Structure 1
Amino acid sequence: MSYFLYLFMPLLIAPNIDGYKILVYNLKFAYSHYAYNSIIADTLAGAGHDVTVIQADLDLNVKHPGAQIAKTYNIPVENEIAELLTNNSMADLIWDLDGSSFAQLKAIENFMKAQHLHQLKIINDKELAKWILNEKFDFGYAEVYSMHMIGLFKAWNITKYATGTATTLIDYMYFFYGVPFSPSSMPNMLQASSPKMTYSERVINLLGYLFFKSFFYYNADHITGEKEINKMYGADTFILERDLGEAAFIFINTNPFFDFPHPKTEKMIAISGIGIPEVKKLDKYWDDILNLRNQTILLSFGSLAKSSKMPLILKQSIVTTVKKLPDITVIFKYEIEDDGLNKDVPNLILSKWVPQNDLINDPRLSLFILHCGLNSVHEIAFAKSDCPSLAIPIFGDQMRNAQLIKSNKIGAIMNKLDLSKPDIFAKYIIETMNNKEFKQNSKQLGNMLAKRPFSAKDLLINNIEFACEFGNLKQLDLESRHQGFIVYYMLDIIVPFILVLIGFMWCGIYLTIKFIQFSIIRRFKKYRPVSTENN
C-alpha cells in the first residue's frame, strides 16, 4: 500500500496542468484595495491556477498579510516613496476635511506622488521586465488605479488581461467602455445623494463629475504613464483609450441588488462579497462582552480615518454619548487602548482590532455605527442578522456608500459634524437601533444577497478562465467606444436636419411674407381711384 502511495504521490501534489499562469499587480497603498486584490489572487490560485502577485509596500501602515495562496514577487520600495504614504500628514487631517472636490483631491495628493514615482520605477525596471518575459504569463490583472500596468502587460507580451476596482466604478471610466455617464440620474463616486436628486444636488453632481473628468485628462500623463511606456517600449505600445477598453472584463466591487441601477456593458462584472470572510463563532472574550448587557453597539471608523486621530472634541462627545446610554455596551475600534479614553466609563470597550463580520452576524449586536467604507457596507448588507446601521461617512466614496444604506432602508445617515453633539448623537443611536423597518429590511437584504443566482467567486473564476482561453473578447465591445463626439451624439444627423428644417422654415416665412406683400399690393391697385386730370 505504502509503495503505491509513494508511486502516485507526485501526481497528488503536482500542480493543475490545466491551470493558467496569471500575473496580478497589487500595491499596498490602502487596506481595502490591497485586501481586495489579494483575495482575487488567492481565489484564482485556489481554483488551480499558477498565480504570481507583484506587490510593493508603499504604505507600511497597512497591516494586511496579502495573498496567502498565490506566490508573491516583492518589489523594493524606495524610502522617498514609502515616506509619502507611511507618514502622510494629510491622513491625520481627514476628520477636518469638508466634502468639496478640492479637499478630496488634497487628501490623496501624496498618494498620487507616490504612485507616479513608483510607476516610473516599474516602467524602467529592466530586470523585472526580463523576468516577466521569461515567465510567459497567460493573463494579467491590475486595478484601474494602476492604469500603467495595462500598458506594461502589452509591453511584456501579456495580451490577455482584465482590470478591477475595489470601489464602485469611477465616473470618467465609463467613457473607456463606451457607456454614457448621466449626471442627472447617476451620482458620481463622491456624491452624497441617491439617483433621485434635487435640482441643487444635480448641479453639484454635474460640477463634481466635470471637475474630476477634467482633472484626470489634465493629469493623464502623470497618472497613466502612457508617455513613459511608449518612450521605453516604442510608440503606440500603450494608448489608454484603446487598451483600457479592450480589457476582457472589469471586476467591480458592487452588487446589482445593492447598488444604484445604471447602464453597463457585459464587460462589467460585479463581484462584491468576494472578500467577506466566512462567519466564525466568537471566542470567549467577545462572547462575554456581548453578554454584558442586553444591547451592544459596534462603533468603527475603519483603518484610514483613525479614531485616535479624531479631534479631541469628537472623542469627548463620544464618551459623553456613551455615558448617556449606561444600559448599552459600546465596542469602539480604537487604535490606542490605554490612552484613558474609557476611564470611568464601564460600558465603553476599546479595542485595536474587532472581529467585525462575526460581530455584525451575531443576533446580540443591536447597532453597527460605521464610516461607510465599501467593505464594511457590504459586510452589513450581506449579514444574515437584523442589525441596523448608522452611517457616518467621513471621506471619499463613503458619502455615496452611505446613500446605499439609506436607499435600502437598512439604516440612517448622520453628518460627521453631529458627532460633536452628544444629545443629537444619542438620539440617532436610539432611533436607529429601535427602528423595526430597518431591522426587517436588514434581515431581508442579507437573505436576498445570500441567495443571489451567481456567487462572486464563481463569476470571477469562470470569467477569468474564459478570458484566458478566448482573449480580450472584442465581441463585447460597444461600437460607441470607437465613435467620436459628433457621431456618438448624432450631431452629424441632428445638425443638418435642424439646418434643413430652418431652411424650410425660412423659405416658408419668406414665401408667406411675399404672398402677403403681393396680396396687399394687388388689393391696393384694385381699389385705387382712377385719375381724372387728363379729362
Structure 2
Amino acid sequence: MARREGVFFCFFFLQNPILSETFKILTLALVGGSHYLLMDEISHVLQDNGHDVTMLLRVGNIMIPGFNDNGRSVVNYKIIPWSTGEENERAFKAFFEDQQNEFLDGRQSLSSYLKLMDNLAVQCSVLMNQSAILNSIRSENFDIVVVDGFNPCCFLLVEKLSLPFVVMFPTLIANGQQIGLPCPPSYVPVYQSHLTDRMGFWERVQNVFMYVGEQFVHRQVEGLFHNIIKDHYQEGARPVLYEIYQKAELWFYNTDLSIDFARPLHPNVVYLGGILAKAAQPVPHELEEFIATSGDAGFIVITLGSMLSSVQRPTLLREMNAGLARMPQKVIWRYQGSKWPAELELAPNVRILDWIPQNDLLGHHKARLFVTHCGMNSLLEAIHHGIPVLGIPLFGDQFDNMARVSAKNFGIAVPPEQLTAERFATAMMQLIADPRYKSAAAAQSKIHRSHPFPPDQRLVRWIEHIIISKGGGHLRPYGTQQPWYQQYLLDVALFLCACFAAAVYISVKVTRAALSNLCRQNKLKKN
C-alpha cells in the first residue's frame, strides 16, 4: 500500500507544477509561418503553466496567416508589436512570391537561402533602430528569453539587451557545428544533404564535402549581418554570432527520435518535437457530414503549409485535381477558394477550405493519408496520429525531413516538378493499400507518444530549471570553448608524433654511432 501511495505521489508532482513562483518570459516571433505557430504555442504553454509571458511580434507579416485580418481570437499572453513598415513588407512579399515559383519549379539554391537571410538582416536593422521598444523590453527585467534559432537577429537582439536566453530551433539540427555538437560525417547527415544515417562510400564522400562547405555558408550568413553589428555595437565590444550561440543556456529542437536519426547530443540539447500535436477534438459538423459520406474508404487530408496555402500554378493544380478524382476517398484540401482557377472544375470528391483543423482531421478514425509539404510541425502531427505521408517537398528542411520519413518507411515523396495525375494517384493508392506504411506510421507513433514526458512538460520544466539554477553553465561541455585543434586532440597528436620522431631520430643516431664505433674497433684489431 505504501509503495502504491509513493507511486501516486511521484506521478502527482510530475503531472502538476511544483513551483509557485512566476517568472517573466519574453518570446521572439520575428519570422512568420510555422516559426510563428511554434513560438505562439510555446508562449501559450508557458502562460498556461503560471508564468508571465510577453511576445515580441512583427505585425503586418504576410507569413502569419489570418493575424493581419482578424487577429488571433485566443491569446492569453501579452504582445509587444513592431513593424518593418509598408515598403519593407511589400519588398519582402515580392521576394517571397518569386521564391514560391522557384520552389514549385524544383529550383532550390544557396542564393535563395542567402537572399532570405539578407531580407531578415534588413528587417533586423529596422528593429534594432526602434529604441523605444528596446528600452521598454529592458525595463521589464525579463528572467529569460525564448528565441527562434533560425533568425540570427534574435541572437543579436538578446546580446544587445544583455538578457539570458534559451533557443527554440524550428526543425532538425541544422547548426550542429555552430554550437559545438559532435557531428561525425560518417553517420550524421549534413543539413541539405538529403542523406540518411546509413551511407555508402560515395554518400560519405558527399557528406564530407558538404560538412566542409557548411562552414563557408555560415560565414556568408554572418557576413550579411556584419553592418548591423558594426552600427549597433561599439568598436572593441562587437560580438561574433558564433560566440553568441555559445551563450545559449539551452537548445530546444523541434524534432523527435520518431522521425530523426539517433546522434550524439550534449546535456544542453533537448528534443521538443510534437509540441503542436494534440489529442484530436471533434471536427466541425459540416466536415463530419462530408467525412461520413466516404464510407469505409475514408478521407485524405491535403495541406501545403502556412507559407503556401494556395498554389498559384494552374498546371500543377490540374494534375493534382485529376489525380484526386481517381481516388475512392473523399479529400479535404486546405486551399483558398477565392484563388481556385475558375476554368478548373473541382473533382467531385474534393472539398477545399480556407482553413482546416489539421490536427483534429489527422486524428479522425477515417483519416487514411496526409499529403503535405513536409514541414516538421505537420510531419510530427502525422506521426502523433500514425498517418502515412505523401510528401511534396518544396524548400528548406522539407527535403531532409522527407528523407527521414522515407527511411522510417511511413511515406514516399513526389517532387512538385515531377508530379503528374498518374504518378500522384499511383503514389496515394500505394500508401493507402499497402499495410506496411500504416504499420510503420503506427510504430513511429508509439515511439513518439510513449516518451516519459510530453513536449509541453519538457519545455516548462527545463526553462524553470534554467532560471532557478541561474543559467545552464552546468549543462555546457567545456569542449565547446576549446579551440578546434584542442577539441580534436591535434596538439596532442602533434606532440606524440614529435616524440616518436625524436625517439626514431635518437635511435638512428645511437645505432649509427654504435656501428661506427664497432667498425673502428674492428679496423684497429686488424691493423
Regarding TM over 0.5, the answer is: yes
Tell me the CA shift for residue 459 of structure 1. Answer: 1.1
Alignment of 1:114 onto 2:115: no
Tell me the CA shift for residue 206 of structure 1. Answer: 3.2
Asked if 1 retains the 8 angstrom alpha-carbon contact of 2:106 and 2:416, the reply is: no
User: In structure 1, what is the Cα distance between the partners aligned to 2:109 and 2:143?
Assistant: 38
User: In structure 2, what is the Cα distance between the partners aligned to 1:520 and 1:266?
Assistant: 65
Classify the secondary structure of the residue corresponding to 1:452. coil
What runs of 5+ residues in structure 2 fail to find an aligned partner? Answer: 1-18
Give 1:95's aligned residue. Answer: 103
The one-letter amino acid of 1:300's match is T
Q: In 2 relative to 1, CA 373–341 (structure 1 residues): closer, same or farther, beyond 3 Å?
A: farther
Asked if 2 retains the 8 angstrom alpha-carbon contact of 1:151 and 1:229, the reply is: no
Tell me the CA shift for residue 512 of structure 1. Answer: 7.4
Give 1:3's aligned residue. Answer: none
Deviations 1:311-369 (CA, angstroms, capped at 9, x unpaired): x33222223323333x2323333234542465163123333322221121112122212
Asked if 2 retains the 8 angstrom alpha-carbon contact of 1:187 and 1:400, the reply is: no
Q: Superposition pairs for residues 483-494 of structure 1, below 5 Å?
A: 483-494=482-493
Alignment of 1:167 onto 2:175: no
The one-letter amino acid of 2:173's match is L
User: In structure 1, what is the Cα distance between the partners aligned to 2:117 and 2:270?
Assistant: 27
Tell me the CA shift for residue 397 of structure 1. Answer: 0.5
Q: Superposition pairs for residues 272-283 of structure 1, below 5 Å?
A: 272-283=273-284
Give 1:352's aligned residue. Answer: 354
Give 1:395's aligned residue. Answer: 395
Match of 1:105 among 98, 105, 110: 110
Give 2:75's aligned residue. Answer: 68
Deviations 1:83-123 (CA, angstroms, capped at 9, x unpaired): 23223232331434546xxx333334453233212212222
Give 1:249's aligned residue. Answer: 250
Classify the secondary structure of the residue corresponding to 2:87. helix
Give 1:369's aligned residue. Answer: 371
Match of 2:52 among 50, 60, 77: 50
User: In structure 1, what is the Cα distance between the partners aligned to 2:105 and 2:201?
Assistant: 25
Asked if 2 retains the 8 angstrom alpha-carbon contact of 1:226 and 1:240, the reply is: no
Alignment of 1:412 onto 2:415: no
The one-letter amino acid of 1:372's match is C
TM-score between the two structures when normalised by the length of structure 1: 0.84
Tell me the CA shift for residue 520 of structure 1. Answer: 11
The one-letter amino acid of 2:90's match is E
Tell me the CA shift for residue 298 of structure 1. Answer: 2.1
TM-score between the two structures when normalised by the length of structure 2: 0.85
Give 1:220's aligned residue. Answer: 222
Tell me the CA shift for residue 486 of structure 1. Answer: 1.7
Give 2:16's aligned residue. Answer: none
Q: In 2 relative to 1, CA 26–323 (structure 1 residues): closer, same or farther, beyond 3 Å?
A: closer
User: In structure 2, what is the Cα distance between the partners aligned to 1:425 and 1:216?
Assistant: 37
Q: Superposition pairs for residues 122-521 of structure 1, below 5 Å?
A: 122-158=127-163, 160-171=164-175, 173-176=176-179, 178-223=180-225, 225-231=228-234, 235-236=236-237, 238-293=239-294, 294-295=296-297, 296-310=299-313, 312-325=314-327, 327-336=328-337, 338-340=340-342, 343=345, 345-383=347-385, 385=386, 387-420=387-420, 422-505=421-504
Give 1:11's aligned residue. Answer: none
Tell me the CA shift for residue 214 of structure 1. Answer: 0.9
Structure whose CA Rg is larger? 1
User: In structure 1, what is the Cα distance between the partners aligned to 2:464 and 2:346?
Assistant: 57
RMSD of aligned C-alpha atoms?
Answer: 3.1
The one-letter amino acid of 2:322's match is T
The one-letter amino acid of 2:262's match is P
Tell me the CA shift for residue 382 of structure 1. Answer: 0.6
The aligned length equals: 499
Tell me which moved more, 104-113 or 398-407.
104-113
The one-letter amino acid of 2:372's match is L
Classify the secondary structure of the residue corresponding to 1:162. strand
Asked if 1 retains the 8 angstrom alpha-carbon contact of 2:166 and 2:248, the reply is: yes
Give 2:15's aligned residue. Answer: none
Tell me the CA shift for residue 143 of structure 1. Answer: 1.2
Residue identity (%):
19
